[in-house]
Structure 1
Amino acid sequence: MAKFLIFTPSYDEKSGGVVVLHKLCHVLNELGYSSYLFPYAYTYEINRFNFFKNVFNFLKWSVFTSIKGFKTNSNFKTPVYKGSIDNLDDFIVVYPEVVFGNPLRAKNVVRWLLHQPGFHEKRFYFSSGELIFKFNSAIKDFSFPGSCTSPNELKVIHYPLEYYNLSNASKNRSGYAYCIRKGKGKAFIKDHSGDILIDNLSHEEVSKIFKKVEFFVSYDTYTAYSIFAVLCGSKSIVIGDEGVSEVSWYPNQDDRHGLAYGFEKIKWADDTKNLVLPHIQNEINKVSDSVNAFAKESIDYFGLVKI
């Protein structure tokens, strides 16, 4: 009988990738599938050149995890797996693309591409026989020898709309907020010494900032905070990556509504901002169908039976 095991870090509302991994587990359980979280452990490629560095990182990660503990979202149905990993033949294990190899030695592996493979770790290592799902149209087409890439996207979103809305938004806006996040190392397009950096702030803190500033500049091209800013009434500007066109950034135009891909696109973003919330609500409504299709495809691919 098929069950799902989601390999994920501890819950962190500021990490979109972590949030959707936990949300996937929740939605699977809501749909009647048996799904569990498995605490993420950092995975390494060990060789004679990095042995001591990675031993140190392993110890640091282990100590950090033991002290902080593994957190879940109390509003989600996300039980943590407590059983043995010696025989996971009835499980479909879902790894995000950042996981190196198959640390649980699972027979049935789904690789969920939440970003371009290799973006975070500068390397990736998958294995043959995996079933690969892209998160959305922003992920470039990808295949791995011996594996199968699904034609269907697994788009799971969780937008905290209780924070990001126009309630108590200022009518007299001024100033800039900005984020770096995954855009670290990118050259600034302006002097941000007097602007507000939102990195590592809570949703409550960020939403209050978005409701009073006129502009939000993101050096991270794929963060949901760009959309959150629009929902709070800010003009949202995304600083693109070198050599990446607007269409290559998000091939689906609906995903670009309300967002200015560079300052020269502010008018277009302003003209389409009213389409953002309906699009988000439509995407939210499609999550269950997307997850159900993913579950059925995975079960069929690995020749398992639904419980």
Structure 2
Amino acid sequence: MSIECEVIPQGQGLAVNQKMDDEIMLNKQLFRDATSPYYVIAPPYTEMSSGIRVLHYLCHVLNLNGQEAYVSTDVTNGQLRTPLLTEEVKVRHIQAGREPIVIYPEVVLGNPLGARHVVRYLLNRPGALGGAEVFEDNDFILQYRREYVPDDMTVDAALYLPHSDLSLFNTDGIDESRRAGSCFFINRYKGGLEDVPEDAVEVSRRV
């Protein structure tokens, strides 16, 4: 009988062990049960609404992190991984016995998809722009900012996603010493302005 052995050079043993561990983990992932898909109920994508952008970014981030997520609109940002939730997709999940986790923004009234697993993402104060002011006891309440949560409401978790494209909004290559003037953006804010220079230019679109 002859036995062939591979001699591993000193210092490479850890790398070989890591490779074996990675292969074992991959095999486990290949044959494990599929997780629940996410349905993100979102309006058509627009750069004019930070809340809408956040919903689309949420779907994108879920997919980037190995989850299976869809948005309910076919108007999307082509640079994001936000596949459309179609009837065919829903049927496929039903046939596979995979119950979705449906994420509604706070403006959606009720549970239009009749989902058993519901997440309410508070992108504004409940009822401020429509929708209900209270939710079902079994709903998972997710806050975007603490100030959007009524005092008598308990939230389950907080999730903040940046809503500005930092590849555009940055000071890369800018000579700070040559900057002049000032501007301000307030959008939905209805209160008075404080500490704003008299010559500042408003760049917001009041709604």
Q: TM-score scaled by structure 1?
A: 0.46
Contact 1:98–1:124 (Cα < 8 Å) also in 2: no
Secondary structure, counterpart of 2:39 in structure 1: strand
Deviation string, structure 1 residues 47-75 (Cα, Å, up to 9, x no partner): xxxxxxxxxxxxxxxxxxxxxxx421112
Instruction: Determine the structure 1 residue equivalent to 2:64.
Output: 30
The percent of aligned pairs where both chains have the same amino acid is: 29
Distance 1:108 1:164 in 2: 37
Q: How far is the alpha carbon of 1:180 from its aligned partner? A: 2.7
Secondary structure of residue in 1 paired with 2:204: coil
Gaps of 5+ in 1: 40-69, 201-218, 220-307
Q: What are the equivalent positions in structure 2 for 1:28-107 lying under 5 Å apart?
A: 28-39=62-73, 70-83=74-87, 90-107=99-116
Instruction: Tell me by how many angstroms 1:141 deviates.
Output: 6.3
Cα gap change, 1:121/1:141 in structure 2, threshold over 3 Å: closer, same or farther? closer
Find the counterpart in structure 1 of residue 185 from structure 2: 179
Question: How many corresponding residue pairs?
Answer: 167
- CA deviations 1:149-204 (Å, max 9, x no partner) are 31x32222244222222233452444331223120x3234478885422225xxxx
| Structure having greater relative contact order (Cα 8 Å, sep ≥ 6) | 1
> CA 1:140 to 1:125, structure 2 compared with 1: closer, same or farther past 3 Å?
closer
RMSD of aligned alpha carbons: 3.3
Rate the CA distance shift 1:180–1:33 in 2: closer, same or farther, 3 A. same
Q: How far is the alpha carbon of 1:2 from its aligned partner?
A: 1.2
Task: Decide whether the 8 Å contact of 2:108 with 2:131 is kept in 1.
Answer: no
Instruction: Find the residue that maps to 1:20 and give its secondary structure.
Output: helix
1:220-239 aligned within 5 A: none
- 1:7 and 1:15 map into 2 onto residues whose CA distance is 15
Aligned partner of 1:116: which letter? R
Distance 1:101 1:4 in 2: 18
Change (3 A) 1:172 1:33: closer
Amino acid at match of 1:74: G
1:77 CA drift (Å): 0.8
Give secondary structure in 1 for the equivalent of 2:41: strand
Q: TM-score, normalised by structure 2?
A: 0.65
1:117 is aligned with what amino acid?
P
- Identify if the C-alpha distance between structure 1 residues 155 and 182 changes in structure 2 by more than 3 Å, giving closer, same or farther: same
Alpha carbons of structure 1 residues 160 and 187: separation in structure 2 relative to 1, 3 Å: same
Give the Cα–Cα distance (whole angstroms) in 1 for the partners of residues 164 and 48 of structure 2.
11
